[in-house]
Structure 1
Amino acid sequence: MAALIDQLTGLVRRQYRVFLALPAAALAVGVLYLLVTAPQYTAIATLLIDSSTLRVLQNQQQPQGDIPLDTLQVGSQVEILASRKLALAVVKDLNLADDPEFTERSGWNPFSHLSSDSQGDREQRAIDAFLARRTITRGEKTYALNISFTSRSPTTAAKIANAIAEAYIDDQLGAKYQTIARAGVWLQDRINELKSKATSADRAVLEFKEKNNIVDLGGASVAAGVSASSRLIGEQQLFELNSQLATARGATSEAKARLDRIEQVRGMDVSEGAVADTLKNDVITRLRNQYLDLSAREANISGKYGSDHAAAANLRDQMEETRRNIRAELGRIAGSYKSDYEIARTREESLERALANLVSVGQTTNRDRLGLAELESSARVYHTLFNSFLQRYMEAIQQQSFPITDARVISPAVAPSQKSKPVTSFVLAIALTMGLIASVGIAALREAIDGVFRTVRQTEQELGARCLSVIPLVTNHVRPALARPPSIAASSEAAEADRAGATPSRPTESVTTDRHYNFTDPLKRRAVDDPISVFTEAFRAIKVSAWLQSSIRNNKVIGITSTLPNEGKSTIASNLAVLMADAGRRVVLIDADLRNPTLARSLTPRPSAGWLDVLGGKVELAQAIGREPTTGLALLPLLLTEAPVHSDEVLASQGFRDLLERLRQSYDYVIIDLPPIAPVVDVRAVVTAIDSFVFAVGWGSTKIKAVRHHLLADPELHDRLLGVVLNKADLKVLERFEQPGVYQNGYYMTGGFGRS
């Protein structure tokens, strides 16, 4: 996490200009957009889809609770509101085709004055602009639809939002009326057709009855649809005759019973009470009472005067006469009963014959009724359909008189007081966000495509070698040096070497010479001329690393090279050599860049001999070496009359190796300014003769891929690296990549030795 934070803070330090410039530019664009963009106002009208009102006004039976609308149905209403048909209705109603806000062309067209601009074209542009500014949304878990419209004018926005709602209601009314009208026309045609078919069916029934002599009774009508309750005349006669026969049979049985009873009574004694009680005849009852009275008187007289008395005999004669009268009356009654019985039996037999005839005729009629039932059933079906369609037609006609829909406006749109677009805070937030995103992207892109060396850590990670120091980019202006005796400088540098653990050089007889050279370029010896500086401290780091390496292994011959020319390797070689010599070491600087020797050109007076002359046997080594008078640095330049064809063979020759060995014996350090490794192979030819290498890399200019390609391709050279030096670093820019204040001169500009 700490490493990530360091990387992020480093990215901000390095690319802070991008992080400041792009968001500021984006905010400026946002402010400009707010200034040039016309304000937009949004008005909202709310429409409610509610079918309960329609059911109540149409007197439809209301179920328990409201039946919820289908979600798909509400979605369909949203699509209707969003249709071009409804948009066209609003455009025509409000004459939006003549409003410049809706008909202005998008973009610049140089031939717009040549193109036709008909009413249809203006309407289509107005519809497209209308649809782009109209929004239909549904309230969450409700049947409320929000109609939003955005316009430059708040009044226009409210007017159009309300017009959309009204146009929707009018469209619903029109669609309802057209649907009912079409249904009415269709129902009317069906009613006429069914009426004709029902009439034809009734006519077929009547014709069938006339043809087969079938007559209906009971007042029923086929046309009324109740023919099932009617009865044919034969059936009626059969029903009535059957009833009469049952009655006649009952009467015959009753007459027979009375006749049998009277015959039974005639066999009884008239004095018995059952005769009068059974017949309940007034004549017989009176005669019997008379008989009983005579019997009582005869018994009384016979008791008093004897049965032979004339009065008793007279009474007995009267009693016999009364008995004959009773029998005569019973005979008359029996004859009457017999006559009634005969009549009843004759009637019964007549009815039975008539019933048998009707049954025979009815069987034939029933066979004819099979076809009649089919015709009557067809007639009933047509009448039922006719009545059903007639009822639906009347309901449709009634619904046409209800100018209502299942939608109503519950919240009409009002002119908004504040603009809806552009939202200042939103636009600025978006602009700032886009600026930050762009700045992060561009900063990351710049980091990704930078591809050069910037930091010590980056150098060590990419090259797998230690970074010895970072040398700042300097000019020829040199700060006045602190005056000190050479002995003091040498003793202090020696003490510094002792603290660093360097091995003291053994006394060896050096090559003596009387030639003295001065550097014409102050930058070649700036490490000595400006000792209290970051520049000099960078070379002290290289020097201390060389001394520490000498304590581990033999490290007297140090080569200075780079990947490409102009990376400052010659300046690094001369300043390192001068600084070591100024510290009291015996140091010789050799210019070994056979392709571009620079040491001889930077010395005054110009040398007359070089080490190539020594190898050729033209001069002695002492005659080719010169000295820098203030530090005692030995200088072995390179003089070329023409560029050698095989420079690598020169450096790989045994003569050059013998020269290095002689110098190794005479000097503490041999600093060699080598050619770059990318253009030529000279360095690879002399690798084995050099103890260690200092590799110069141009800060912010040398490509990482190039260095890795050439340096890592030669493992032997990489293994002999003393370290890498980042040269020509811009300290102000470097602070964005490293911790602030590490490479500043603040420490050296305070105190007794500096200047403010």
Structure 2
Amino acid sequence: MVVQEIRKLTGTDMASRESRQQQDYISFRDIWAFLRRHFFILALASAAGLALGALYIAKTQPTYTSIARIVIDREQARIASQDASTGTIIIETAEIASEVEIVKSEAIARSVIKQLNLTEDPEIQTSSSWRSAVRGAISALLSVFDQGDEGAAAAGEPDEEDIMRRTMAGFLGRVSVRRVGQSYVLEIGYTSTDPVKAARAANAIANTYMQSSLDAKSQIIARGAQWIEDRLVEVGQQAHEAALSAEEYRNRNDIAQVGAFGLDQQQLTEISSQLLSAQAAKAGEAARLATINRMLTGELPDSYVGEALGNTEINRLRSELGAARTRLEAQQARYGAESEPTLAAKAEIARLEGLITTELVRIQGVYKSNLDTAEAREQLLQEQLDAIKGNVSEKNLARVELTELESRATTYRRMYESVLQQLISTLQKQSFPIGDARMVTAATPPLAKNWPKTTLIMPMALMLGFAGGLGLAGLRDVLDRRISSGERLGRELGLPTLGYVPFTRFQAPGSKGALRFVLDAPYSGFSEALRGVKSSIDAAFPAGGPIVVGLTSVGGGEGKSTIAANLGQLYANEGLRVVLVDANFKKPYLSIQAASAGPKAGLAIYRDDLEPDEPVDGKRKGDKQVRHDEAPILPVLTVDQIRKAAHPGHRFGHLPALKKKLEELRHDYDVIIVDLSTFATSADARAASAYVDGILLVLGNRRNMTVEWLASALATFGKSRVGILGVVFNKRKSGQWWRPSSRNTVGAGERHGV
């Protein structure tokens, strides 16, 4: 049974503690419950999305897109390269993307606009995007503040360039160019409200692009041939000078005879590798020695040394040391700190610790020996490496310089051959330039509209509306902090839920009142729920001993007294000795019912002169004159009886009197149920909660209570050590759906505390 100290109780603290105990999960049943709970919002949002989609379709003018297809010629030379191994032509993806951007360039657009006279096309002139509309509004607003001749000039007619720029913006907004898959085919599309105009514009763009590509290529080939020829002469001269410099350096340094007496590269590599390995081994041994030195001085525990962890002797001594420390604690608790058994145990612990230290000192010696060996090996390898390097250092420098000169000469020779090949290819293509692209399919007037598409817009509008509904529903759940379920209560405050008691009108046939309804209607939902609560309470306490359970609530009118009396009837009908204690000093409901209704409510005022198993109405339970349908009468320790037992001179003496009465009742009764005051407004409940074994929190108005409010109310317990068995949701409507979870019950011998 876990009882924790109450401090400042917040939802964040409880949620973090609960998340450490159990991971939250979301099941399909949770999703279905969420959809059912917010069905109206989701349906309304989806309908609104469909309505907006239909309105958009009705108000949008249909447009048509005509597409012309061209292919980038595989034999063209500028963006093609030939694979030397396979002989195939490869066109890079980046080059195809560049061609796409060229088709959408302003140069092509300007040529097509002039060709089709689109500056006078009303469709392009009157259409504008939302960006241009915003810019136009800002320009109109700024023009109001313009003064003088500059303002008059700005308000005049636009010049030819302004008209062209505006037409070009509208024209490019209707052009679409894309690559078809991984092929070399480009689709050039143009969108217009007139299908014939769309086809004419798409064909014009394709033809203009192919012609401009052919013209540009002719100019590039002519300029390229001249540049390549000049470059060939320059590279040839550089290749000749580089080869001559390499031969002169070779003869000057006598590099040709170094091979017979040169440096053994393989031997140098092996010694260098061995030196690095020796240095690494030395560093490792030094680190281990430093670690065990710090451990012997007390800076680190011996668990940091790997050999100590695997040492059989040390492990045995540790086991004996642990057993000796356990005996020391037991003997100190039994005989005292200065007794002979305690001193003997301490001496045994000191002896074992000394043996462990001796073994660790032996390991330290091994580490020192290993470090000395590693240092000697490193020094020997370093001397060998220095001796080899010193003999041939000058020759190595000369060979490095020679390698650089030979590499430079080879590079210039290859450059010369490459430039020569390019010059030959360019001169061949200069006489007959080949176009980069050709037409595959000319554009034709489309038969169906391109936009708006009903089959796309309506499902999309429905999905957007449903997504908006989900967002609103989720926002509602996030902002709604009411305690609507035990799952939220357990997740955010860490309080377990013991049961859900349904709303009951207590009108069963033969019913004698709400305080014994669990007996009058034994198979009702109310009775079944309380039986489940009783099972959870029994699982929280060990069997055989008396238990004292307190019932409280945050506010009044939540039904805690009714649940307390019915729980008492359940225990009494199992043959247990039960007594009710009315500790609600502000509103003693049970005391009033015991005095007024009496046996009709199944209650009677507690009497000290009766034995616990003696009936208060003069009839024993085992007598033959008692009918089988009669229930036992529960004794009630009233508020007046508690106050009379208090010291007459103490204003708040009823609390010590309550504590004393509970201690007396523990000897005579098996189950003691205490009806406490509401803890949010009464200090008596917070003080009396320390007298009971567990608290049962009854929530009857949870839909009007937020998580923060309940957390703030529970925080009023301060630093009191109170064990909360769990929460009982009272007055739950039968139509509400509830899914039990693993956090709704308390395991045997365990109780969640706050």
**TM-score under structure 1 normalisation?**
0.47
Question: Taking CA–CA contacts closer than 8 Å with sequence separation of 6 or more, which of the two structures ends up with the larger relative contact order?
Answer: 2
